[in-house]
Amino acid sequence: MKLLFAIVHAEDAGVLVDALLDREFRTTRLQSSGGFLKQSNATIVLAVEDAKVEEALGIIRESCHSRSQVVNPMPPIMEPGEFFMPFPLEVEVGGATVFVLPIERFERI
Ligand code: 2BA
């Protein structure tokens, strides 16, 4: 078995959980936030049989879409008379960042 952690855009999380449930994957949705943008995203956790990993990844690919987001950098601490011109930075936030880990033991009690 494998443990999948899929970090996805908050707007895609509901669609993804529903699509996984439709195909009988059990999931847990955690609220998370990205270290760079500091915006809410969602982490979907699912334990799947090895033979089902590709199917789960396919559902994640279909449900999650990349987006461009603009970040306004924080102004630095300024001395009087200094001038700061904030240039917005555009970043591409991926459809999903997925980690696939081996599970040593799995039990439902
Ligand atoms: P954030 O950390 O908020 O990053 C959002 C997007 O900002 C990233 O999209 C990437 O395009 C950009 N970015 C991140 N760090 C950057 C940096 N140091 N310089 C320039 N641009 C940067 P994604 O790569 O698609 O990542 C989306 C979210 O997935 C991340 O949100 C984070 O929550 C998670 N993530 C991505 N890579 C990870 C990793 N190696 N370990 C843990 N979480 C990760």
pLDDT at 35: 92
CB 14 within 8 A of CB 45: no
pLDDT at 24: 97
DSSP notation for 21-76: HHTT---EEEEEE-TTT--EEEEEEEEE-GGGHHHHHHHHHHH---EEEEE-PPPP
In the chain (109 residues long), the average pLDDT of successive 10-residue segments reads 97 97 98 93 98 98 94 75 78 94 96
Domains of the chain by start residue, with CATH: 2-66+96-102 (3.30.70.120)
Mutate which of 36, 38, 91 to test ligand 1's pocket (most atoms within 8 Å of Cβ)?
36
Please state the atom number of ligand 1 nearest to the C-alpha of residue 96.
Answer: 25
Instruction: Give 37 Cα–ligand 1 centroid separation in angstroms.
Output: 8
Which residues line ligand 1 at a C-beta cut-off of 6 Å?
7, 34-37, 41, 91-94, 97
Rg of the chain, C-alpha, whole Å: 18
Instruction: Give 86 Cα–ligand 1 centroid separation in angstroms.
Output: 21
pLDDT at 30: 98
pLDDT at 69: 87
